[in-house]
Amino acid sequence: MRNIFFAIILITFSSCSNMEADAEKVCDFTTQTTEMMPEIMQLSIKSAFGGDEESKEEAKKQLDDLENKLESMVEEIAIIKIKYDEEEFEAYLLDNCESAKKLLEMGLALQELGDSIDEN
């Protein structure tokens, strides 16, 4: 009985530390994402409306690289999130990750903007 109790405690602590480590990784990804957004926007504009064809192609190549990196991070986040209860993990992330809070606020602001445009 004592061994079972010890095993349960050990599993509980390792589960918490796994969630903590995974949340930290997701937080790092969200920080990188928010840092990449201005560059993605700039490269998108440059690849569409930039000067000569050579600079457009270079901007497009850089944009593709960033989008591939972003896609890879999104895939890793999806793999991490399926290991946990979605609401519990998101709540933990929002409590412990400033960049996740900022992304949520930006998303809500964009949604409100879209809703107000749809109403008009």
Report how far apart, in Å, the C-alpha atoms of 117 and of each of 58, 69, 96, 103, 105 are: 35, 32, 33, 21, 18
- Of residues 32, 59, 35, the one with CA closest to residue 45: 59
- Of residues 104 and 59, which shows the higher confidence score? 59
Task: Evaluate whether residue 39 is within a structural domain.
Answer: yes
Q: Round to whole Å and give the CA distance between 22 and 83.
A: 10
Handedness of CA 74, 77, 79, 82 (dihedral sign): negative
Task: Evaluate whether residue 7 is within a structural domain.
Answer: no
Task: Evaluate whether residue 42 is within a structural domain.
Answer: yes
Task: Evaluate whether residue 3 is within a structural domain.
Answer: no
Task: Evaluate whether residue 77 is within a structural domain.
Answer: yes
Give the model confidence (pLDDT) of 44-95 as tens digits: 998 888 778 898 899 999 999 999 999 999 999 999 989 999 899 999 999 9
pTM of the model: 0.70
Task: Evaluate whether residue 8 is within a structural domain.
Answer: no
Look up residue 67 and give its two tokens: 């989008």
- Of residues 91 and 109, which shows the higher confidence score? 91
Which of the 8 DSSP states describes residue 17? H
Structural domain range at position 69: 17-119
Task: Evaluate whether residue 57 is within a structural domain.
Answer: yes
CB 23 within 8 A of CB 92: yes
Instruction: Judge whether residue 9 has pLDDT over 70.
Output: no
Confidence of residue 43 (pLDDT cuts 50, 70, 90): very high
Task: Evaluate whether residue 29 is within a structural domain.
Answer: yes
Instruction: Judge whether residue 7 has pLDDT over 70.
Output: no
Q: How high is the mean pLDDT of the chain?
A: 82
- Residue 27, helix vs strand vs coil: helix
Domain count across the chain: 1
Q: Round to whole Å and give the CA distance between 89 and 86.
A: 5
Look up residue 104 and give its two tokens: 């949520």
Confidence of residue 99 (pLDDT cuts 50, 70, 90): confident
